[in-house]
Amino acid sequence: MIQLVLIGGLGFIGRNILNVVASDKSFSELQPVVIDNLSNSAPRHEAVPVPACYRGFETPDALEFLEHWQSDSDTPRVHIFLAGETRVAESLDRPMDFVDANITQPSQFVLKAVQPGDHFILISTAGALFDGATEIQNTLNYSPKNFYGATKAAEEMVLEKLVRMRGGSFSIVRMTNVYGKFSDNKKSAIHAFMRACLSGDEVVINGDGLQRRDFVYAGDVARAIALHAYQVARKQCFEKVNTIGSGKSVSLMDIVSGIEQVSSSTLYYNKVPAPDLLKTEPREVVVNPNDARRLLDGDFTPLNEGLRSTLDYYSATPQGK
């Protein structure tokens, strides 16, 4: 068996990972445990049938929980670190909170929790690490355009060194713009647009709506992370830096059209200039398709199918409306 320690595992991405591990027989060797303070958890977390500590990963209770569930020496242990601050706009107003959440606290956790032989997977960002001037590749040097991206770049470098100091191994999974189920607390474009379409509310689109992003379905992201965890635990060949994306970039106005198509409804919107916000974000996020699709060998959910699945989730989930 392989023990998965999901730090921040009851939020958006974590719940998708747990769902995939529970439903896909190819991941039957993975045994998850969760640490999550419930500050950003998806609804109905209490029904998730895995051992869990409902405290912050930085607390003594979390470390005690890990010690209790410590694998024996023959069982590989893989940490999947999902916690941290993620909102670009908020990083402008609360920069030191982002330093604390994305660098200081994770560093302290690694020094206290990672044991020799453990593997540590840091879940990071693809778009925010770069300025959008060139196609994003796994080998590209950092060039963050905003403070959030700067903290994630620093986190990648610092945690790698600390994990290796602790006798562990390290890898990174960078995600593009993820959407899908269990996103009740997400404020990002597709989720905000989908809720507004269902409720008949109007959304704000910053700028002309032609900024382009690589949108990837959360179920695909979960499968890719679970597969990567299995590969590293079984000592299979793996890359230190990995990107998960669809390999295709579309505009926000394309998303508006897609949501209207799958919902058979009109999405009302108002475009506002927002120059201060837009100058902190890349105009385009274009990811090398070979890098973005490598982990799943190109097996990704088409955008319209993913949008329909997300619509079905929100339609059936009162908390998502």
What pLDDT does 277 receive? Answer: 82
Global pTM reads: 0.95
Residue 219's alpha-carbon distances to 13, 83, 153, 224, 267, in angstroms, are 9, 19, 25, 9, 25
> What would you report as the CA-atom Rg of the chain, rounded to the nearest whole angstrom?
19
Q: What is the pLDDT of residues 209-259, one digit of tens each?
A: 999 999 999 999 999 999 999 999 998 889 999 999 999 999 999 999 999
Euclidean distance between the first and final Cα of the chain, in Å? 39
**Paired tokens of 225:** 């992370």
Give residue-wise pLDDT tens across range 167-226: 999 999 999 999 999 999 999 999 999 999 999 999 999 999 999 999 999 999 999 999
Q: Which two tokens stand for residue 42?
A: 């998806």
Query: For 41-68, what is each residue's pLDDT tens digit?
Result: 999 999 999 999 999 999 999 999 999 9
Residue 217 contacts residue 309 (beta carbons within 8 Å)? yes
Q: Which residue has the tokens 């949501």?
A: 259
Give whole-number Cα distances, 73 to 39, 115, 148, 163, 217, in Å. Answer: 33, 11, 37, 18, 36
Per the CB < 8 A criterion, the answer to whether 226 and 24 are in contact is: yes
What is the set of domains in the chain, with CATH numbers? 2-178+217-244 (3.40.50.720), 181-214+247-287+301-320 (3.90.25.10)
The pLDDT, as a whole number, for residue 71 is 65
The pLDDT tens digits of the residues spanning 123-147 come to 999 988 998 888 999 999 999 989 9
Q: What is the dihedral of CA 305, 301, 19, 53, to 10 degrees?
A: -110
Does residue 282 or residue 79 have the better pLDDT?
A: 79
The C-alpha atoms of residue 49 and residue 62 are separated, in whole angstroms, by 18
**Residues 6+ away with beta carbon under 8 Å from 214:** 126, 127, 176, 177, 245, 246, 247, 248, 249, 285, 286, 287, 292
Distances (CA, A) of 97 to 88, 102, 185, 204, 256: 12, 8, 19, 26, 33
Q: What are phi and psi of 9, to 5 degrees?
A: -85, 0
Region of poorest pLDDT, from 69-78, 106-115, 134-143, 199-208:
69-78
Tell me the per-residue pLDDT of 278-316, one tens digit each, with 9 for 90 and over: 888 888 998 999 999 999 999 999 999 999 999 999 999
pLDDT band at 318 (very low <50, low <70, confident <90, very high): low
Bridge partner residues of 174 (DSSP)? 124, 243
Residue 125's pLDDT is 94
Give the Cα separation of 182 and 13 in Å (integer).
Answer: 8
Q: Is the pLDDT of residue 319 over 50?
A: no
What confidence score (pLDDT) does residue 88 get? 86
Predicted local confidence at residue 320, as pLDDT = 42
Residue 242: closest CA among 292, 286, 290, 288? 292
